[in-house]
Amino acid sequence: MMDEEISQFVFLSEPPVIADLGMVFGAANETDLLRRARHGAELYRSGYIAKLMVTGGGVLAEHDPESKRMAAIAREHGVPDDDLIVEDRSSNTFENAQFSAAFLQERGLLDKISSIILVSSEWHMRRVLWTARRYFPANIRFLCCHVMEGCTRNTWMHSEACREQVLAEALLLTTFLRSGALESTMDPES
């Protein structure tokens, strides 16, 4: 694949619109974790979402689960506990979506949601969207509102570390598609 084809395949970006929920996906990298949590809080403070959900239970020996660290960041950036939902059992993108859908269903919230803003790094958005579509009801509309910092469509070709990240993500997406773990739905509006 050429660089432009890789960009089209991996990256997704949409401007935010008002949605019922913002869902922030965890990250093993602390810098990405901080950026994602701050971006989710900014969407909340800007009035795009009524509730913010943070996901991720990956536990490093010296840290709390990803979601709890992101919840603390969101609180510091103005999200009150009443509007913060914490899913802290998941350990990968598939579980982030699966466990979050189940968590919302168990609490009687899922039926009240018609739209969700997905928050992650731009290179991660295609996988996040396809995975959310796999585990959430088909009537929910998803919007991909990525973090504006770090490895993005505009910067990935200029950094060796970003280039490796994006090429690894393209390979991972291809593997998931071939195995049937994910289905391709290339149009964010479909």
- The whole-model pTM stands at 0.91
Q: Which two tokens stand for residue 89?
A: 């059992």
Residue 146 has pLDDT above 60, yes or no: yes
Nearest-angstrom CA–CA distance, 65 and 55 = 9
Residue 112's SS3 state is helix
Q: What residue ranges do the domains of the chain occupy?
A: 13-148
Angle between helices 30-45 and 66-76 (to 10 degrees): 40
Whether residue 104 is predicted with pLDDT greater than 70 in this model: the reply is: yes
Return d(Cα 162, Cα 154) in angstroms, integer: 11
Question: What is the structure's pLDDT at 58?
Answer: 67
The secondary structure of 39-102, three-state, reads HHHHHHHCCCEEEEEEECCCCCCCCCCHHHHHHHHHHHCCCCHHHEEEECCCCCHHHHHHHHHH
Q: What is the pLDDT of residue 157?
A: 87
Q: Strand, coil or helix: what is 16?
A: coil
For residue 189, the model assigns a pLDDT of: 45
Tell me the percentage of the chain whose pLDDT exceeds 70: 94
Pick the CATH number of 13-148 from 3.90.1150.10, 3.50.50.60, 3.40.50.300, 3.40.50.620: 3.40.50.620
What is the rounded average pLDDT of the residues 142-154? 91
pLDDT per position as a tens digit, 34-86: 999 999 999 999 999 999 999 998 655 467 889 999 999 999 999 999 999 99
